[in-house]
Amino acid sequence: MRKLFSKTVLVVISTFFSIAAIAQGNDVVKTAEETRGLLYSNGKIYVVVAVLVTILTGLILYLVSLDRKISRLEKNKE
């Protein structure tokens, strides 16, 4: 199970970096300041923040529910 998890994580990370490298392109390199300015000017920064908050909220809710299930199983075991 642990090997499967580590292989899956490795594949996801490799895919992320390859997509990021392709997305960069060879002729367009923007600095962090230009990117931030672009996101603010288009109002897309709010979309990015909303997506991040949604993902983090989902992860936290999943972990809380998983903790409750594990606690219930441990309690029933005793």
Give me the pLDDT at residue 19, please: 67
pLDDT tens-place values along the chain, 78 residues long:
667 777 787 777 777 666 665 655 554 555 767 777 777 777 888 888 899 999 999 999 999 999 999 999 999 987
pTM above 0.75, yes or no: no
Question: What own/partner pairs with CB < 8 Å and gap ≥ 24 does 51-55 have?
Answer: none
Give me the pLDDT at residue 40, please: 77
Gap between the Cα atoms of 24 and 13, Å rounded: 17
